[in-house]
Amino acid sequence: MIVAGIDDISIYSPGFFYPLEDLARRHGVDPAKYIVGIGQERMAVPTPDEDIVSMAANAVAPLLVNEVREEISTVIFATESGIDQSKSAGLFVHGVLGLNPNCRVVEFKQACYSATAGIQLASDLVRQRPKEKVLVIASDIARYERNSEGECTQGAGAVAMIVAANPRLLEIHPQSGVFSFDVMDFWRPNHREAAYVNGKLSIDVYLRSLTEAWLDFQRKDGLPLTSIDKLCFHQPFTKMSKKAFGALREAAGAEADHLDEKSYAESQIYGRQIGNTYSASLYIGLSSLLDNCDEDLTGRSVGLFSYGSGSVGEFFSVSVVEGYRRRLRSHAHRALLARRREIDYETYVAWFYTSVKSTEDRISPMQTTGRYRFAAIAEQRRIYAEVDCARLGSLNAVA
Ligand code: COA
């Protein structure tokens, strides 16, 4: 069988953050609750001229090297925070980046899970047509009500992956375990900017979903846990990985004896600084694991659990390809986070809670530090643009 997997991965998150220590003080709670209890330190805050499309374009741009632009046959855009009820966000990315016209573009939705559906379908596509490459993008702004329990988990970011035959980073194993059922733990009707959420229920159903998906993975001849060296869980907040590991250990029994908190520690590093990114969160976690793990992971297997409220869970595994370190963009990812600037509470509120549904004509002032931005709305049309590089250089130099 043709081996399919992830050939390249790139992440993007806005150039500004708000510290959770300050949010805790504003909410009158002990900062340790957010930093230790929830496991979050900073929340990435998008500027008013950023949205899921501009973040996605910024994540994709570094991947378009050599002949890749022409080889992309399909673009799958996964998101919970879509900007149009009809047109795929992927088409805006296709336009602003000038992708190959002979390619199909589609948007996937299922809360935080949809990128995994994209990865699985992309793998099957390239197993059938090994010359083609599939661009899978996940991009989200995780937004809850102000002063709600979920506010401290908010964040924003995007990840872009090239799925190809004979990948140079990760081989995706064909076995996977899935579990779906209809539950109202988190949902967002069309008129709402922030999700409705029953936080405690969402944790319970996440853990049930993980257990059931794991059992299904075992029934379908997935790897035993004894053959898995690292773990990466969907991470709405980093403490969730600890809860997920506990549930998996309970389901797997003695098979989990060789695993401990170090098995997923590196996958939490970026998420702790960015916050929840819904559909992108698992794959930003995967990027964090690969970028930050000092051990050589060549030939080792990673177990991944994807969860999207509502709900769908999927457990699958990948193995790390020899030479993967040369393909990683670790330096760029770390630099992206290191040069971010802190903002105060008033700016956070003004930016994070800018209405995403407003359709009035406007030209957005230049505030992003990214290369692509959401520049304007004109006659109900969203307009994206590449930023003047000289201007961007001076903005980033100030940071
Ligand atoms: N120091 C250290 N830890 C503290 C603390 C303190 N002063 N105060 C509380 N904590 C700990 C609690 O013990 C708890 O840890 P535990 O979960 O390991 O028991 C943790 O902080 C959270 O406290 P809790 O009271 O449960 O928080 P909450 O009721 O305010 O809300 C969520 C937590 C996750 C439910 C809420 O953030 C939410 O709704 N998030 C959005 C939905 C979501 O992310 N769901 C996940 C599945 S998809």
pLDDT along the chain (399 residues), means of 10: 96 98 97 98 97 98 94 98 96 97 97 98 97 98 96 98 98 98 97 93 98 98 97 98 98 96 98 98 98 98 98 98 98 98 97 81 94 95 88 55
Ligand 1 center to 223 CA (angstroms): 32
Longest dimension (CA), the chain: 61
What CATH code would you report for 174-326? 3.40.47.10
Type of residue numbered 41? E
68: exposed, middle or buried (Cβ count in 10 Å: 0-12, 13-18, 19+)? middle
The confidence score (pLDDT) of residue 391 equals 63
Report the pocket of ligand 1 as residue ranges, CB < 6 Å. Answer: 30, 32-33, 36-38, 149-150, 152-153, 197, 199-200, 202-203, 206, 236-237, 239-240, 309
Query: Which residues 6+ apart lie within 8 Å of 107 measured at CB?
Result: 76, 77, 78, 79, 82, 88, 89, 90
Tokens representing residue 103 in the block: 């390619």
The answer to whether 5 and 167 have CB atoms below 8 angstroms apart is yes
Tokens representing residue 212 in the block: 């059931």
The protein residue whose alpha carbon is closest to atom 40 in ligand 1 is 150
Asked if the peptide bond before residue 311 counts as cis, ω within 30 degrees of 0, the response is yes
Q: How far lies 196's CA from each of 149, 190, 227, 278, in Å? A: 11, 12, 39, 14
Enzyme catalytic residues: 80, 112, 234
The protein residue whose alpha carbon is closest to atom 23 in ligand 1 is 37
3-state secondary structure string across 9-78 = EEEECCCEEEEHHHHHHHHCCCHHHHHHHHCCCEEECCCCCCCHHHHHHHHHHHHCCCCHHHHEEEEEEE
Ligand 1 center to 239 CA (angstroms): 8
Ligand 1 center to 110 CA (angstroms): 24
Asked if the domains at 4-169+329-398 and 174-326 fall in one CATH topology, the answer is yes
Query: Which residues 6+ apart lie within 8 Å of 12 measured at CB?
Result: 55, 56, 58, 59, 157, 158, 159, 160, 336, 370
Q: In what order do the strands lie in the sheet with 155-165?
A: 104-108, 72-78, 133-142, 155-165, 4-12, 170-180, 312-320, 301-308, 230-233
What are φ and ψ of residue 42, in 5° steps?
-140, 155
Nearest to 368 by CA among 12, 9, 11, 10: 12
Nearest to 277 by CA among 117, 29, 56, 118: 56
Query: Which residues 6+ apart lie within 8 Å of 36 measured at CB?
Result: none
Atom of ligand 1 nearest to the CA of 202: 47
The protein residue whose alpha carbon is closest to atom 39 in ligand 1 is 199
Q: Which of the listed residues 33, 242, 279 should we mutate to test ligand 1's pocket, taking the one with most ligand atoms within 8 A of CB?
A: 33
Atom of ligand 1 nearest to the CA of 198: 39
Q: Is CATH 3.40.47.10 correct for 4-169+329-398?
A: yes
Kindly tell me the sign of the dihedral angle through the C-alpha atoms of 397, 55, 207, 294.
negative
Ligand 1 center to 38 CA (angstroms): 5
The confidence score (pLDDT) of residue 397 equals 52
Ligand 1 center to 34 CA (angstroms): 8
The protein residue whose alpha carbon is closest to atom 28 in ligand 1 is 149
The protein residue whose alpha carbon is closest to atom 15 in ligand 1 is 37
What are φ and ψ of residue 63, in 5° steps?
-80, -15
Three-state DSSP class for residue 383: strand
Q: Which of the listed residues 27, 35, 38, 80 should we mutate to test ligand 1's pocket, taking the one with most ligand atoms within 8 A of CB?
A: 38
Distance CA 262, CA 267 (A): 10
The protein residue whose alpha carbon is closest to atom 44 in ligand 1 is 236
The confidence score (pLDDT) of residue 399 equals 43
The answer to whether 322 and 299 have CB atoms below 8 angstroms apart is yes
Atom of ligand 1 nearest to the CA of 186: 42
Domain boundaries, the chain: 4-169+329-398, 174-326
Ligand 1 center to 37 CA (angstroms): 6
The answer to whether 8 and 63 have CB atoms below 8 angstroms apart is yes
Three-state DSSP class for residue 361: coil
